[in-house]
Amino acid sequence: MSNNPTSNFQDVPWKHRFFSSMIGFAVNFSRRSDGTINRYIMNLFDFKAPPSQQLFDGVKTSDTVVDATRNLYFRLFLPSLNQDDDVPVIVYFHGGGFAYLSASSIPCDDFCRRLCKKTGAVIISVNYRLAPEHKYPSQYDDGFDVLKFIDDKANTKNLPFNVNLKQCFIAGDSAGGNLAHHMAVKACEYGLRNVKLIGLIAIQPFFGGEERTESETRIVDAPILSVKGTDWLWKAFLPEGSDRNHPACNVFGPKSVHDISRLKFPATMVVVGGFDPMHDWQIRYYEGLKKCGKEACLIEYPHAFHTFYGVPELKETCLLMEAVKGFIERLINLNKEGCS
C-alpha cells in the first residue's frame, strides 16, 4: 500500500477541500490548552441546515425534541414514499469525535439526506451532547434514550404510518459508528418492545487503544483526522484517569466488559478506508465480531481517507451508497423470510 497520506484527497473538488480546511482550522483553533473547546469560535464555522417541511431533492425533514434540558432531539428525514410498501428505519449517529458537529450541521444533514433518498428509508439522526463538556457516558445515554423514545408507540406520531420498526437499522460514521455499536449492545441487553434492530452500519467507526497500530504509525498526518487529533478526542471524551483501553474505545480489548457472543447482535457492515489512521482498529473490530460468532461483512476502499463519504463526487462514495442500499435490502428480505 502506498505511503501517500493524501490518497484520493487530491480528487476532492476544491469547494469541499476549502470547506474541510475551514473546519480543520476551526477545530484546531478552538481547542484550548486546558483540554476544553471554545464553542463560540467553533460555531462560527459549523454552519447549520434548518429543517425543511417542503420536499428538497426528494426528502423533507423535521426536528423532534426528546429532552429540551440537554438539547436532545433527532432530525427526521422522510423520503418520497410509496404508501403500499413497508419503510425501514435507520437510527443514525453523526461523527465528530464525540466533540464536534450536530444533527443539523450541514455535512451531517447532507449525508443523511442523500442516504435517505438512496435507500428509501426513514432516517432518525440523533443530536447528542458533546465532549468535553459532557464526557462518557453522556453520548451513550442520549443515544439510547432516543431508541427508547421511538420504542414507545405514543412518540411515533410523526412517523409515516407504513414505517416498520421491525426493520430497524442502527448506523453511524466515525464516532457515530462507535455509538452505533454500543447502542446495539445496549438494545440487546435491554430488550426493546417495538423496535427490532436487524442491521448495524459502521462507517469508518472511531475505535482505538493504547497500542499504536501500523496504520497509526504510517498515516500520522492524514487529511481530516490525524493521530494527534484522535488522541486529543479520546482524552476529551473518556472519563478522567482513563486510558485508550477503556471499553468505550477498545471494545474487544483487555478491559472489555461486554461479551457479545451471548447477545443476539445484529448483522454488521463495517466500512474502512485504506488511508484512515484508524484503519487497523476498524479491521480489529470486524475481526472481533467474527470471533464472537456474529455476522459481519467488511467493505474496504483502499484509497479512501477518513470521512470520504462527505464528498458525493468521489466514486467510493457512490459505491458506499450502493453497498448500504444492498445491505439493507438483503437483511429486510432475510427478515421477511424468517417471519414467513
Q: Residue 2: its pLDDT value, please?
A: 44
Among residues 94, 258, 279, 306, which one is catalytic? 306
Instruction: Name which of 10-19, 117-126, 239-248 the model is least confident about.
Output: 10-19
Catalytic residue list contains 276 = yes
For domain 5-338, the CATH architecture is 3-Layer(aba) Sandwich (3.40)
Catalytic residue list contains 242 = no
What is the spatial distance between Cα 121 and Cα 167, in angstroms, rounded to a whole number?
Answer: 10
> Domain residues of the chain, as ranges?
5-338
Element holding 62 (H helix, E strand): strand 59-67
**Per-residue confidence at 84, pLDDT binned at 50, 70, 90?**
low
Tell me the three state secondary structure of residue 92: strand
Among residues 138, 174, 215, 226, which one is catalytic? 174
Element holding 256 (H helix, E strand): none
Among residues 46, 173, 276, 280, which one is catalytic? 276
Q: Residue 22: its pLDDT value, please?
A: 78
Between β-strands 87-93 and 72-79, what pairing exists: parallel, antiparallel or unpaired? Answer: unpaired
Q: Per-residue pLDDT tens for 254-302?
A: 999 889 999 999 999 999 999 999 999 999 999 999 999 999 999 999 9
Q: Which residue did the predictor score with more confidence, 19 or 246? A: 246
Whole-number percent of the chain with pLDDT over 70: 96
Catalytic residue list contains 174 = yes
Spatial contact of 18 and 218, defined as CB atoms under 8 Å apart: no
What is the spatial distance between Cα 31 and Cα 62, in angstroms, rounded to a whole number?
Answer: 32
